[in-house]
Amino acid sequence: MEKAAEEEKPRKRSLGARLGWTRASYALLSVFMVLIFLIGYVWWPLLQAYLDTYNPDYPFWVQFDWLLLGIFLAMTLLIMANAHLGKDFPIFAIGLAGGLVIESWGTQTSLWTYYTAERPPLWIIPAWPIASLSIDRLYRLLARWTKNWPEGVFRWGYWAVFGIFLGLMVIFVAPTLNRSLTVMALVLCVFLILTPVDRRAMVLVFAAGAGLGYFLERWGTTRECWTYYTRQTPPFFAVLAHGMAAVAFWRVLRLYELFWPRVKALLGRRAPERETA
């Protein structure tokens, strides 16, 4: 009887289980670590210059970059939560391509510049897919927390949030409105805003992107890794721009989820035809 009672007691879940870790979580963590190693190896002079800023005359805890450590740990835990390689790979790929486009636009138009003067620096591009995965996890968390919120909150909040963003964007990019890249970015944002497919999801994705974006921008601008033409650390628009970028990536992901099964089905039908022929 005592043995049966012990078996009926609920087993304590491990820390990994409580955090939503799966086998894929460790694969993603490995990819993350490999990316960091490759960036440090390929661009060693940049890392060396950063390490050379350490001054032994001051205590270690004063000079240590605690904000960078916090961002690193937070993103690590986020990407490992409920990881699924099949679902995460498209997010990773879209973030990588989207990050390259956004960095090219910003640096080519001089809206922001990097301390290395590269336009854009390739070493910053891998940060975008990692951030995209982190935002995906934050979005899922926000979706659970707000699942009982009335739809009206998001219906009215949508136009308020994106209306403010669009107004700030026009003001911020005004000096480069004569550049085709800026015009294309503005047109794309207007198109995405005027064609909402899911207001609740878009607002939550925007909030997740802007939330993470604040800490990334705070670190990058205060360390002078990148500098905006306004010299703000950071500009409020830049924080919101991370939210808009997240929404753009999410919309591309929705298109992928819509059309990729159809493409696979079409390819599957053609394969037997070729074998028969």
| SS3 track for 87-132 | HHHHHHHHHHHHHHHHHHHHHHCCCEEECCCCCCCHHHCCHHHHHH
pTM for the model: 0.87
Q: What is the pLDDT of residues 63-86, one digit of tens each?
A: 888 999 999 999 999 999 999 999
> Does position 268 have pLDDT exceeding 80, yes or no?
no
Q: What is the pLDDT of residues 115-138, one digit of tens each?
A: 999 999 999 999 999 999 999 999
Instruction: Encode burial over 227-257: b for 16+ CB neighbours within 10 A, e otherwise.
Output: bbeeeebbbebbbbbbbbbbbbbbbbbeeee
Predicted pLDDT of residue 11: 62
Six-digit token string for 117 = 């003067």
Do 194 and 149 meet the contact criterion of CB atoms below 8 Å apart?
A: no
